[in-house]
Amino acid sequence: MVKILTVCGAGVGTSMMLRLFAQQILDKEGIEANIEAADVASVDPKSADWIITTSDIADVIRGADEKIIRIDNLTDKVGLRLALLAKIQEKAQ
């Protein structure tokens, strides 16, 4: 099972939307995941396989560059799906 954090400034808006979208994508693909929404101040990059967030938030998360999936168009579910599945395939290899 993969562990994913969705992150925004306060942990209640963008991160919740990204959590919902990521869960829908992974459910459709049959991939089990634990996805949690969090605020940027409480993120521990070591606690997740991947972190989904926007570029402005990603720039302040230290030590997680290889784990970050940057999503700047929050309505682009296709882009999120492609980025998320690419990371999953990368980990599987």
3-state secondary structure of 63: coil
Provide the token pair at 18: 């990204």
pLDDT tens across the length of the chain (93 residues): 889 999 998 877 899 999 999 999 999 999 999 999 999 999 998 899 999 999 999 988 887 888 999 998 988 999 999 999 998 888 777
Topology (CATH) of 2-92: Rossmann fold (3.40.50)
Note the pLDDT of residue 15: 93
The residue type of 50 is: W
Judge contact between 72 and 12, C-beta under 8 A: no
Note the pLDDT of residue 1: 86
- Whether the model clears a pTM of 0.85, i.e. scores above it, the answer is yes
Q: Where are the domains of the chain?
A: 2-92
Note the pLDDT of residue 3: 94
Note the pLDDT of residue 53: 94
Which residues, 6 or more positions from 2, have their beta carbon under 8 angstroms from its beta carbon?
Answer: 26, 31, 32, 33, 34, 49, 50, 88, 91
Note the pLDDT of residue 76: 92
